[in-house]
Amino acid sequence: MPTELLGGLLFLLLPVAAGSGWYFARKKYFNPSSYVEDVAPEYYKGLRYIIDEQPDKAIEVFLKLLEVDSETVEVHLALGNLFRRRGEVDRAVRVHQNLIARPTLSTEQRSQALVELGVDYLRSGLLDRAEVMFESLLTTAYKSRAALYLVEIYEEEQDWDKAVECARIWQQNSSHKLNKRIAHYYSKKAEECLADNDLKPAREFIKLALKEDSNCAHASMVEGHLEMLEKNYKAAIKAFKRIEKQAPEFISEVLIPLKTCYRNLDKSHKFLEYLHELPTSQTGVNQIIELSDFIEENEGSDNAIRFLIDKAEELPSVRMLDRLVDLSLIAEEGENKTKLECFKRLTGKLVEVKSAFKCSHCGYRARSIYWQCPACKNWDTVKPIQGVVSEQF
């Protein structure tokens, strides 16, 4: 610990000792030699505490040594940030609180210190305190930065209304747009309404989401499920199929509800046509399994097996193998059936533990759909995994 911290502090404090310290020495004592006598011993004392692995005592010394003044605010901020970067958030909080407590700060410096203290709280998981800190900054020159941190907090708290509000504040002063994220927030609101069976507001939120980002597959997916609940199967098919253009990689996730919609309209043959039209590269294994189900229902298991064997060469997958074993079991009897059942237990277990989604940013793997990655918090980075090459157990 001490080596890295020592390096960081030396980097920070040497210029202080050599520059600001001498400045203060001159300012206060009008005599550099008196600085050496009065300030430098304290400075060395602080360094000694670091070498002796007593960083708290070192902080006390440095905080006293670095009298807060317009000349040393930057040093305090840098010292606090250094501690935070090292994961020592408690110490960062102490440094930043010490800074804020000084009455001599300008409004600008005070806001800057409040931002840093807010980040300390955020990184230590004290969301309530961070929220208060950043909200107090919404009327300052730091409002844009504060709004972006608030977006992070409200996403964590799943307060989608406030997340929308702060994303809009941030957009006002930025060339970057958050409209894709805002569309997800509205889609989340629609999902919540759908769960409570409040279909009218759910419909409104879907509209808002698509207005914000016409390519929001999340909104189309919620819309499809809403229309299914209302038994508007034609409208549901329209919403689900929209995903093909919005985010083709997600069409595989709506094939089962699409099949249900076509069935309820007594148009299963249309679903089969649609499956044949879709390129395998977009839908991967889900499409092939759906097709094999359809072939089994209409032409028998032998044809479905032949179809799967053909496709397995094109896009090998454990899920396809598992389905192949299912189909083979139908016609088998006796010893062969026992062997296949044993094989099925194995493939069944493999499918059970398999990740179906992966984050392209951080590699996080999941078994269900996440529009925001739970690990790296990016939106739209968790995508369905297609084929055995990407499958991991």
**Contact residues: Zn ion, CB under 5 A:** 359, 361-362, 364, 373, 375-376
Q: Nearest approach, Cβ of 368 to Zn ion (angstroms)?
A: 15
User: 95 vs 359, which CB is nearer to Zn ion?
Assistant: 359
User: 134 vs 371, which CB is nearer to Zn ion?
Assistant: 371
Q: Nearest approach, Cβ of 363 to Zn ion (angstroms)?
A: 7
Q: What does the alpha-carbon distance between residue 208 and residue 200 come to, in Å, rounded to a whole number?
A: 13
Q: Nearest approach, Cβ of 172 to Zn ion (angstroms)?
A: 28
Q: Nearest approach, Cβ of 246 to Zn ion (angstroms)?
A: 21
Q: Nearest approach, Cβ of 377 to Zn ion (angstroms)?
A: 7
User: 9 vs 373, which CB is nearer to Zn ion?
Assistant: 373
User: 296 vs 380, which CB is nearer to Zn ion?
Assistant: 380
User: 66 vs 373, which CB is nearer to Zn ion?
Assistant: 373
Tokens of 289: 């399994």
Using a CB cutoff of 8 Å and minimum separation of 24, what contacts does 295-299 make?
Answer: 296/327
User: 126 vs 362, which CB is nearer to Zn ion?
Assistant: 362
Determine the residue type at 32: P
Determine the residue type at 333: E
Q: What does the alpha-carbon distance between residue 232 and residue 63 come to, in Å, rounded to a whole number?
A: 68
User: 207 vs 361, which CB is nearer to Zn ion?
Assistant: 361
Q: Nearest approach, Cβ of 87 to Zn ion (angstroms)?
A: 20
Q: How many CB atoms are closer than 10 A to CB 294?
A: 19
User: 205 vs 364, which CB is nearer to Zn ion?
Assistant: 364
Q: Nearest approach, Cβ of 366 to Zn ion (angstroms)?
A: 10
- What distance lies between CA 381 and its chain's CA centroid? 8
User: 228 vs 359, which CB is nearer to Zn ion?
Assistant: 359
In three state form, how does the secondary structure of the chain look?
CHHHHHHHHHHHHHHHHHHHHHHHHHHHHCCHHHHHHHCHHHHHHHHHHHHCCCHHHHHHHHHHHCCCCCCCHHHHHHHHHHHHHCCCHHHHHHHHHHHHCCCCCCHHHHHHHHHHHHHHHHHCCCHHHHHHHHHCCCCCCCHHHHHHHHHHHHHHCCCHHHHHHHHHHHHHCCCCCCHHHHHHHHHHHHHHHHHCCCHHHHHHHHHHHHHHCCCCHHHHHHHHHHHHHCCCHHHHHHHHHHHHHHCHHHHHHHHHHHHHHHHHCCCHHHHHHHHHHCCHHHHHHHHHHHHHHHHHHHHCHHHHHHHHHHHHHHCCCHHHHHHHHHHHHHHCCHHHHHHHHHHHHHHHHHHHHCCCEEECCCCCEECCCCCECCCCCCECCEEECCCCCCCCC
User: 240 vs 364, which CB is nearer to Zn ion?
Assistant: 364
Q: Nearest approach, Cβ of 370 to Zn ion (angstroms)?
A: 9
Q: Nearest approach, Cβ of 374 to Zn ion (angstroms)?
A: 8
Q: Nearest approach, Cβ of 388 to Zn ion (angstroms)?
A: 22
